[in-house]
């Protein structure tokens, strides 16, 4: 108990939390001393997870063919451990006594933002377009430790910022013991820049036009649908990243624990996952480079038929799958610690794509598909690979 109080006072001294937040934490410690054990378990769990990832990554290059069966078992254990560990982390909230829920709306009429900046510790954030000339943020707030709605509303307004001036919109919530789920409505006009930083929460956006979009969250899913994003950068520690039916020039997406799926016409795609499958479904429209990396997951890449390809695939324990026709292997190696194949199309086409894919324990598949002419179905009436891919 004394050690926890000392840590809270140090956080106040360093400016990480306010005096009111420290008082709330101290009162919670007095009321519920059992919360120290939960916090300690959470910290130990994260430390164990990070250590495991470092050990697994450093030992990946030391695997040899004669130990493949053991390596596959180790891969499955790592996959199951990370999944269960992250689920336990996700389920841990801040059970600090009574909670109060309120709703609040921020609104600025006759305002069209060109830049959006969001910072939030806990809660999901969604951006939606609308036909109005103005911005509106609908917030559902859950405050831990408040006695009534008036106190909760006062604390939320005092510790949040909604600033709309000079074509810039800033929204942030400073109180860490507060969960705020926000839906932000913005005009349909194109945004130049949006930067979203969350700690514990998911982000979603659809039917938007943004030049530069940056999304980072420690624990949450990132989902973007039917949007034009010229430059995208997304990162999550625990959660999936789905970029579906989008177009742009560049997309970089990384998840520690979760699948990464990119479907659309994107020029340069760079996607990574430590513990999850990686999928890139390239649609027609200027795509030229695909880079994909995974540790425990498989990699699937789908390219439009009649597009010429060249690239290199690598794996330690898995296998390769290339189109049965129209492809030749320029170089193929199967060494003690890694397998590699370098390939290229036999016939050059107008559209060219360079592919680089590497996974430690999974497999790599590169396949050609025929793009639908009028709808999202394949000619034989089945869904496209991207619509039925496993979300794990």
Using one digit for the tens of pLDDT, what is the confidence trace for 346-380? Answer: 888 778 899 999 999 999 999 988 877 645 444 34
Same structural domain, 171 and 255: no
Query: Which among 176, 201, 226 is the end of a domain?
Result: 201
Average pLDDT for 24-49: 54
Crossing angle (nearest 10°) for helices 2-14 and 19-31: 170
Higher-scoring residue by pLDDT: 317, 98: 317
Q: Tell me phi and psi for residue 319, to 5 degrees.
A: -135, 170
Res 14 pLDDT > 90: no
Distance in angstroms (rounded) separating the CA atoms of residues 213 and 234:
8
Give the angle 76-78-84 at the CA atoms, nearest 5°: 100
| Cα maximum dimension of the chain | 73
Same structural domain, 297 and 248: yes
Give which of 168, 175, 108, 109 is closest to 145, Cα–Cα. 175
Same structural domain, 284 and 347: yes
Same structural domain, 145 and 36: no
Query: Which among 49, 71, 91 is the end of a domain?
Result: 91
Same structural domain, 251 and 355: yes
Tokens coding 62:
């030391």
Residue 59 burial (CB count, 10 A) = 12
Using alpha carbons, list the distances in angstroms from residue 99 to 91, 93, 135. 17, 12, 29
Give which of 48, 199, 58 is closest to 124, Cα–Cα. 199
Q: Residue 380 has what pLDDT?
A: 41
Same structural domain, 13 and 113: no
% of the chain residues with pLDDT over 70: 70
| Summary mean pLDDT of the chain | 80
Q: Residue 383 has what pLDDT?
A: 47
Q: Residue 63 has what pLDDT?
A: 44
Same structural domain, 299 and 324: yes
Same structural domain, 232 and 304: yes
Average pLDDT for 218-228: 96
Range of 63's domain? 2-91
Same structural domain, 197 and 216: no
Question: Per the structure, how many domains does the chain have?
Answer: 3
Q: Which long-range contacts (CB under 8 A, 24 or more apart) does 91-96 make?
A: 92/38, 92/42, 93/179, 94/144, 94/177, 95/32, 95/35, 95/38, 95/144, 96/24, 96/25, 96/28, 96/32, 96/35, 96/144, 96/145, 96/177
Res 265 pLDDT > 90: yes
Q: Residue 84 has what pLDDT?
A: 56
Average pLDDT for 139-158: 89
Range with the poorest average pLDDT among 29-33, 91-95, 103-107, 228-232: 91-95
Same structural domain, 104 and 193: yes
Query: Which among 201, 222, 246 is the end of a domain?
Result: 201
Question: Which residues are bridge partners to 129 per DSSP?
Answer: 186
Q: Residue 51 has what pLDDT?
A: 54
Average pLDDT for 188-204: 94
Confidence of residue 151 (pLDDT cuts 50, 70, 90): confident
Residue 262 and residue 269 in contact, taking contact as beta carbons nearer than 8 Å: yes
Distance in angstroms (rounded) separating the CA atoms of residues 135 and 118:
14
% of the chain residues with pLDDT over 90: 53
Res 118 pLDDT > 90: yes
Using alpha carbons, list the distances in angstroms from residue 273 to 168, 200, 266. 33, 19, 19
Range with the poorest average pLDDT among 131-140, 178-187, 329-338: 329-338
Res 52 pLDDT > 80: no
Same structural domain, 237 and 364: yes
Taking the model in full, what pTM does it have? Answer: 0.74
Same structural domain, 215 and 355: yes
């Amino acid at each position: 108990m004394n050690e926890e109080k000392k840590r809270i006072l140090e956080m106040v001294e360093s400016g990480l939390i306010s005096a009111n937040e420290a008082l709330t934490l101290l009162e919670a410690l007095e009321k519920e001393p059992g919360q120290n054990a939960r916090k300690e378990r959470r910290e130990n769990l994260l430390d164990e997870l990070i250590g495991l990832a470092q050990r697994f990554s450093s030992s990946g290059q030391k695997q040899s063919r004669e130990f493949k069966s053991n390596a596959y078992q180790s891969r499955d254990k790592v996959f199951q451990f990370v999944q269960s560990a992250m689920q336990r982390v996700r389920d841990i909230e801040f059970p600090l006594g009574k909670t109060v829920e309120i709703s609040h709306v921020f609104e600025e009429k006759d305002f069209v933002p060109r830049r959006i900046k969001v910072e939030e510790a806990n809660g999901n954030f969604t951006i939606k377009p609308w036909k109005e000339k103005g911005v509106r943020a609908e917030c559902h707030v859950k405050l831990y430790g408040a006695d009534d709605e008036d106190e909760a509303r006062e604390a939320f307004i005092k510790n949040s910022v909604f600033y709309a001036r000079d074509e810039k919109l800033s929204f942030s919530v400073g109180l860490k013991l507060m969960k705020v789920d926000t839906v932000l409505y913005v005009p349909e006009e194109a945004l130049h820049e949006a930067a979203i930083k969350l700690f514990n929460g998911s982000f979603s956006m659809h039917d938007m036009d943004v030049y530069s979009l940056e999304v980072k969250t420690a624990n949450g899913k990132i989902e973007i649908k039917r949007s034009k994003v010229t430059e995208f950068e997304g990162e999550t520690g625990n959660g999936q990243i789905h970029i579906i039916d989008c177009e742009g020039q560049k997309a970089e997406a990384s998840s520690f624990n979760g699948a990464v799926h990119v479907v659309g016409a994107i020029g340069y795609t760079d996607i990574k996952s430590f513990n999850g499958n990686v999928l890139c479904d390239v649609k027609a429209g200027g795509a030229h480079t695909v880079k994909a990396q995974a540790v425990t997951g498989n990699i699937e890449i789908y390219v439009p038929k009649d597009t010429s390809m060249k690239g290199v695939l690598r794996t330690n324990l898995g296998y390769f799958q290339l189109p049965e026709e129209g492809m030749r292997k320029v170089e193929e190696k199967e060494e003690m610690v890694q397998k590699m194949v370098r390939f290229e199309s036999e016939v050059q086409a107008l559209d060219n794509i360079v592919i680089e894919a590497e996974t430690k324990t999974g497999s790599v598949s590169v396949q050609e598909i025929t793009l639908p002419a009028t709808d999202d179905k394949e000619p034989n009436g089945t869904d496209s690979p991207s619509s039925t891919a496993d979300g794990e």
